[in-house]
Structure 1
Amino acid sequence: MKLTFVINDIATEKDNYTTIRLTRRAAAMGHDVSLVSLADLSYEADGSITADGVMPSRSDCKDDTEMLADLQREDAKRDRVCISEADVLMLRADPADEMLARPWAHSSSLLFAQLAAKQGVIVLNDPFRLTDASNKTYFQHYPAAIRPRTIISRDEKVITKFIEDEGGKAVIKPLQGSGGHGVFVITEGLGSNVNQMIEATLRDGYAIAQEYLPKAAEGDLRLITLNGRALKVDNTYACIRRYNETDDARSNISAGGKVEVVEPDADALRVAEMAGPKMIRDGMYMCGLDIVGDKMMEINVDTPGGLCMIEDLTEVDFSGAILEDLEHKVRMQECYGKGALGPHELAII
């Protein structure tokens, strides 16, 4: 299988990124793997999509640190990659990382990916739908029953009234961003600090204000989904609880949160089940659902992470299962003809 990952930049990849784990596992399984930057794509005169790519030179790296070192060394194996000839193109770039230095890069990469999809390449997640998911407004298209009450606005009065209506408790965050950056948890008694939090959030553009869920104090669940269903291998779900033992209310790993493996409860599995039809329809092949109680707080469709931690804690080969699923999709595509099956069809076979 020819597998290409679109990432932000090989220089900024880290050894705890899901992409590096998938790359190492794919190389060990004998697949032809390459990684390309979202800013290095080209549309050639013959209509093909190409990019300068970096490839693993080894298939026997003992861990992700060794794999990343192989990819980042000065004499790393590099070549021109014809993405149009790939079997699978996986989009693994975080748009939040491009907002300041290269605001054009992510949206442009999706347009290149759309061209590749039109040429019959299996592109995941679906680049046509990812353009609709460029910020957190996409989340509002999921069933209201599994979402917290939410407003999106740049009007301080609208946001202030929402917080008042919620009894002085709410969560506010930028419309764009990831990793818990710029998230404020508002509780009673903060006084004028609330105005400062709102002003700080609005400096980044639109703000989201959501109802405060008391169970969030216990952390949240990160549940990985594949083909619109909770990912499960050997009776183990790809799920962790993220929590913070400090006064910081954020449980994101990048914000200092801790993790433990947990079995998702009935509420969490119901959230995944309710979100499933839209994920399948939108071609959201691999996602990360952040769940508190019976509500989905966010859905990560660009670079769902946490897989490395989950695998290391459970010793379950989720990466191998994902790659075997991709192999199955490639076989089905070959059977029906390149480009004959769309992402939503490939998700249910």
Structure 2
Amino acid sequence: MRIAFFVNSIEGETSTYTTTGLAMAALGRGHEICYVTPGDFVLRADDSLSVRGRVLPGKRYKKAESFHAALQGDDTAIETMDTSDVDVLFLRNDPSLDADDRPWAAHVGAMFGRLAAARGTIVVNDPDGLSLAQNKLYFQGFPRAVRPETLISKSIDEIRTFIDTHKEGVIMKPLQGSGGKNVFKIGSPDEANLNQIFEAVSGEGYLIAQNYLPAATEGDIRLFLMNGRPLERDGKYAAIRRVPAKGEVRSNIHAAGTAVSVEITPEILAIADMVRPKLVEDGMFLVGLDIVGDKILEINVFTPGGLNVMLDLYDIDFADSIIAALEQKVAQRDAYAGAITNRTLATL
């Protein structure tokens, strides 16, 4: 099996990224891998679709640092291949990272992923589903019971009124974005710096204001779902609690958050089960839920991360289970000779 990992850029990859763990797991299971970036697709005059992939030597790496060094070094080769020779195209780019400097690149994965799927390659997450999730507005399509109360607007007056009706405060962030960038907690509509925050964040487009959840002081839970269900291996769920640093609103690991082990309760499983139907309908193979209390703050469908931390905490390689699931999808595709749509295969 050949798996192509689509990322924003080669130089932007790190040894701690979940994509690194997935690629290493694929190599460990005897598969070929390559990395693809937004400028690597070629749609030819005969309607064939090719891709220039950065191919690593077919060896197993014991350490993520060694793998990353090889990816960034001279041992790789650039190989042009027809997408029909790629079994799985795994879309792992973050569109928000390209939105400002390379807007043309932000949604290339979904665009060409759709063409690759039409030519027989399994594409995950499903590109049509990802096209629906280009910003946080996608989250509003899930049941109200699992969402914080939310306002989406570019009006400072609307936002002030919303803040005034939520005495415990409001979290404000851009509609388009990820990784905890420009996330602020506003305690009152009279806060002196509200105008400055509004001007800074609204420059990126629409704003989201959500009622602040006091349980957020304990951090959030990142829970992986695969094929619409919580990812579990050896009796343990692929989940961590991300605890924010002192004085910090965000619990993201790169924002100085700390990852600790967590036990998944029946209540959390019930939350996951409530969002499962839409995730399955949209062909979302691998997603990360960010849960606080009985609410989901975000659903990351593009680049959910944290598998490396889970490997360290639990000594369980969840990436291996993900690659095994892809093997099964390839077998199902071949058995049905293209009769099953990519969106269905993505979550079987």
TM-score (normalizing by structure 2):
0.96
Q: What residue number does 1:161 align with?
A: 161
Matched, 1:199 2:190: no
Q: 1:218 to 1:328 in 2, by over 3 A?
A: same
Q: Which amino acid letter does the alignment assign opposite residue 274 of structure 2?
A: M
- Of the structure 1 ranges 287-296 and 76-85, higher mean CA displacement relative to structure 2 is found in 76-85
Q: 1:339 to 1:43 in 2, by over 3 A?
A: farther
User: 1:122 touches 1:343 (CA, 8 Å); kept in 2?
Assistant: no
User: 1:229 touches 1:276 (CA, 8 Å); kept in 2?
Assistant: yes
Q: What's the secondary structure of 1:303's corresponding residue?
A: coil
Q: What residue number does 2:51 align with?
A: 51
Counterparts of 2:7 and 2:328, CA distance in 1: 24
Matched, 1:326 2:320: no
- The structural deviation recorded for 1:141 is 0.4
Q: What's the secondary structure of 1:338's corresponding residue?
A: coil
Matched, 1:225 2:236: no
Q: 1:32 to 1:160 in 2, by over 3 A?
A: same
User: 2:93 touches 2:109 (CA, 8 Å); kept in 1?
Assistant: no
Q: What residue number does 1:67 align with?
A: 67
Q: 1:40 to 1:227 in 2, by over 3 A?
A: same
Q: Which amino acid letter does the alignment assign opposite residue 4 of structure 1?
A: A
Counterparts of 1:224 and 1:147, CA distance in 2: 18
Q: What residue number does 1:177 align with?
A: 177
Q: 1:58 to 1:69 in 2, by over 3 A?
A: farther
Q: What's the secondary structure of 1:39's corresponding residue?
A: coil
Q: Which amino acid letter does the alignment assign opposite residue 164 of structure 1?
A: D
User: 2:116 touches 2:123 (CA, 8 Å); kept in 1?
Assistant: yes
What does 1:90-169 correspond to in 2, within 5 Å? 90-167=90-167, 169=169
User: 1:154 touches 1:205 (CA, 8 Å); kept in 2?
Assistant: yes
| Pairwise CA RMSD | 1.5
Q: 1:2 to 1:200 in 2, by over 3 A?
A: same
User: 1:290 touches 1:297 (CA, 8 Å); kept in 2?
Assistant: yes
- Of the structure 1 ranges 75-84 and 306-315, higher mean CA displacement relative to structure 2 is found in 75-84
- Of the structure 1 ranges 160-169 and 280-289, higher mean CA displacement relative to structure 2 is found in 160-169
Deviations 1:41-74 (A, max 9, x none): 1112232222221122142211111111111103
- Once superposed, which parts of structure 1, at least 4 consecutive aligned residues long, lie more than 3 Å away? none
Q: 1:339 to 1:185 in 2, by over 3 A?
A: farther
- Of the structure 1 ranges 155-164 and 99-108, higher mean CA displacement relative to structure 2 is found in 99-108
- The structural deviation recorded for 1:199 is 2.1
Q: Which amino acid letter does the alignment assign opposite residue 316 of structure 2?
A: V
Counterparts of 2:196 and 2:238, CA distance in 1: 38
Q: Which amino acid letter does the alignment assign opposite residue 236 of structure 2?
A: T
Q: Which amino acid letter does the alignment assign opposite residue 63 of structure 2?
A: D
Q: What's the secondary structure of 1:327's corresponding residue?
A: helix
Deviations 1:292-311 (A, max 9, x none): 01100000001111111111
Q: 1:157 to 1:311 in 2, by over 3 A?
A: same
Aligned length: 348
Counterparts of 1:339 and 1:89, CA distance in 2: 19
> Identity of paired residues, percent?
42
Counterparts of 1:109 and 1:223, CA distance in 2: 24
Counterparts of 1:299 and 1:236, CA distance in 2: 21
User: 2:164 touches 2:189 (CA, 8 Å); kept in 1?
Assistant: no
Counterparts of 1:161 and 1:323, CA distance in 2: 48
